[in-house]
Structure 1
């Protein structure tokens, strides 16, 4: 702001503003809020508020610099001292040459699953089926020894104390952009925490120096006229604090439902209006309902530990022996259908493994098994979990919309019409379907919507359940099924480019987000 009349500006200064100006004059150069607070005897918050007022009047300048710092979590401190679970597991493997999954779980306890997952993610080991079961074998790249990784170096550096980002980058000797992936990974593993602080430097402008050169004196002002001042008359001859009635008033923000929650509610409302019933289920499912009952082979990559969160315990399958036998026969030779199945031996113990569900189809299929007679028309909106590297479009915990329709005469065309209706109600008039492949539906399609600024975007998959899925659970009629990714749809609807923003407590964005 340009100051045209320094005398008039000086006359309008409050006593607090004068104190801050005089303190800045003593400093001669830039000064931080802590130093100003010590010199003026005013608390830091009030000092900064005063500095901002002086900056509006053009008498001082405030420079802000945001700095990022990193510190270890409790788990991170443990790993910095003992080594990452995968490093310790690798040392164990190198000594033993190979080890079963159970060996590693027994050796490392609750850290066993973590170690196995990261051994596979880092390609330090591979899984092979041996006589003793699923075994981990050291990869060829580690046979001659493996030096510390960047993630391990970061843990060692930050273990010395809270570390500023610039210092961390220089010590790791990576470029600014190269270190981001490792930091994100450590944060997602809950080994590293990050926080930021804004450092402000305050300095006089030329106008501020001119005001000071004219000389200013501090005179106590009355900011509030109290009954005591009126009764005693001591207000007479005193200076009152000036108020600018033209200043904008403080914004108010009424409460409203979170934008993402509104989208979830809207989806529920659309399907409810279309005659569907919402169902719920447990977060922890058996591999039987999550994979086997859906005709996903037991050696399918999606079942690997680097893609799925497995629990350390097993549990008997919650299904009748007849249903389990039907699924086993379907996998091994196609059961009573004209199908070859997947061949090989279906192992019940793999179906007993517990995991965090990777999709809500486990819920809808279990419901269908207990309601084999038509009509069935249900949907499920709930949280699912997959081992994903966190980035702008992937997170390990997200919501999915799943649904099924089972009736005597439903067809593939009914499925396409249903999905088209849903997306149009969600505000996407341009929709197309492309042929797709999923292990448990045939025919299958991928659903795409058109956005003028981004082109065609894939938002989900759908199809008709294969007989290999419906026959073992006793369903004799067609089942239309779909699974739609909510996160990407929400990003498009809200104009976001990073899926993580859906879960951030960004008050400014939440206040400005439109209500629809």
Structure 2
């Protein structure tokens, strides 16, 4: 019997007693694994082979996981420093223990989050106490990391799942196919098989020479494995940002642009944010060690300082708090894109604006937040404002209802809120499609006179800042924005998620 060369090679290499993997057959036959797979499926269709499939799961250390094998898990280092400081007998100031542990940056938050989870001790009112009975040397996650580093298997599935959720190990799943000769296959070999010349395509030369009548064409199996080729694609966050821009442009808005690093004057002072406000300390703000910005409009600086010191209008009172022009000129990463709104409303960016006007931006902002499922150190803010006569909160609420309806989101709720720069103000909440919980999606209000008068604006301005990542949560049902972008992003989720239109 004549069969394609690849099928003959697989039949001769296969066994009736021992199942052999595709990779092993590929080595023995010298064929590509995908060629062996196709031949095996074709022979299985004819009853000559049977194919078995198993799932092979392996775990591999990430770069962060390898670092912790060398330096130790942050929570273990924190516990040992706490014991050395005597926290197993009496509570010790948390800052003292952290300093002694040598932990820095994000490792501090990681250590604090896992310290209590693992029962190493408690943290209360800025003091840390350590459980004297805890055994950091037997930490299951640390032992599993060490085993993987040695090339040994870590057996505890729950521990491996926890390490995967911390992005310390990467879980790899692979379908392993093995083949075995059936009785029909053995009979076929005993009767004898010969390779037939096969071709995988019809060429003009075959047609003109008549050769096509004497060759055998390869059959194609659409279920056979093929190389996994992943092409580039636009990130879902960027695709959604582009759609937001299209929606707002369609609503009559024009886009703003401006610097990511800017003077504190534009970021906060113009917003009537007192310079001793907690949000303007290093705990919330990323200050840059660069020369201050000199090209600020002097007359505007004077008017903004006066508003801070004395308020605006006959009943204005100001803050009676320190105000420094040096601080105003200092450079920081913007914590909101409202700095762009201040540049445009003041006329500094595109000249004086006459009402009515509508502007927006979809840009990145930076805040020193604690990482969790709804907060990142950097995220995208949908900034917008409308300048017109006789605006009201109803106009603002109606704008949101129109905007979110373009994304299929109709359950929007509002809650009164306080902002130093808007009055009245309210937060926006949307209902998560999977958990049914209300999540905060934005902040908004009507700019106060203390903001508008120094800018030279003599009509109403309603403004907002919405979170692009939270919009994705409502659209797609994501429950952790760290899956979407950042160092912990879920690549499979990004590859497989289809963009909603």
Q: Same fold (TM over 0.5)?
A: yes
Shift of 1:246: 9.9
Is the Cα contact below 8 Å between 1:314 and 1:352 reproduced in 2? no
Q: Distance in 1 between matches of 2:41 and 2:196?
A: 20
Q: Distance in 1 between matches of 2:163 and 2:222?
A: 49
Q: Which runs of 5+ in 1 are unaligned?
A: 1-10, 105-111, 125-138, 185-191
Shift of 1:485: 1.7
Q: Distance in 2 between matches of 1:175 and 1:78?
A: 15
Q: Distance in 1 between matches of 2:223 and 2:106?
A: 58
Give 1:291's match in structure 2, choosing from 268, 284, 291: 268
State which drifts further: 477-486 or 49-58: 49-58
Is the Cα contact below 8 Å between 2:421 and 2:447 reproduced in 1? yes
Shift of 1:222: 1.9
Deviations 1:405-429 (A, max 9, x none): 2234323332222222222344334
* 1:42 to 2:31 alignment: yes
Give 1:434's match in structure 2, choosing from 412, 415, 430: 415
* 1:464 to 2:455 alignment: no
Shift of 1:233: 9.2
Q: Distance in 2 between matches of 1:293 and 1:121?
A: 36
- 270 and 465 in structure 1: CA distance in 2 versus 1, 3 angstrom threshold: same
Is the Cα contact below 8 Å between 1:67 and 1:196 reproduced in 2? yes
So what's the TM-score if we normalise by structure 1?
0.68
Give 2:174's match in structure 1, choosing from 181, 198, 201: 198
* 1:210 to 2:199 alignment: no
Count of residues in Structure 1 that have an aligned counterpart in Structure 2: 462
Shift of 1:320: 2.9
Is the Cα contact below 8 Å between 2:312 and 2:449 reproduced in 1? no
Residue 119 of structure 2: aligned partner: none
Give 2:196's match in structure 1, choosing from 196, 221, 233: 221
Residue 513 of structure 1: aligned partner: 498
- 20 and 318 in structure 1: CA distance in 2 versus 1, 3 angstrom threshold: farther
Deviations 1:475-505 (A, max 9, x none): 3332211111222223433454554565579
Q: Distance in 2 between matches of 1:240 and 1:418?
A: 67
Deviations 1:231-266 (A, max 9, x none): 999999x77356369999x9xx99997665454333
Q: Distance in 2 between matches of 1:290 and 1:392?
A: 26
- 148 and 209 in structure 1: CA distance in 2 versus 1, 3 angstrom threshold: same
Q: Distance in 2 between matches of 1:510 and 1:198?
A: 18
* 1:243 to 2:226 alignment: no
Is the Cα contact below 8 Å between 2:286 and 2:332 reproduced in 1? yes
Residue 476 of structure 1: aligned partner: 458
So what's the TM-score if we normalise by structure 2?
0.69
SS in 1 for 2:331: strand
- 351 and 48 in structure 1: CA distance in 2 versus 1, 3 angstrom threshold: farther
State which drifts further: 485-494 or 223-232: 223-232
Q: Distance in 2 between matches of 1:37 and 1:368?
A: 68
Residue 25 of structure 1: aligned partner: 15
Q: Which runs of 5+ in 2 are unaligned?
A: 86-92, 114-125
Shift of 1:317: 5.6
* 1:64 to 2:55 alignment: yes
- 313 and 257 in structure 1: CA distance in 2 versus 1, 3 angstrom threshold: closer
Q: Distance in 2 between matches of 1:47 and 1:487?
A: 45
Q: Any residues of structure 2 matched to 1:238-387 within 5 Å, and which? A: 240=216, 243=219, 260-305=237-282, 307-316=284-293, 318-331=295-308, 334=311, 338-370=315-347, 374-375=354-355, 376-387=357-368
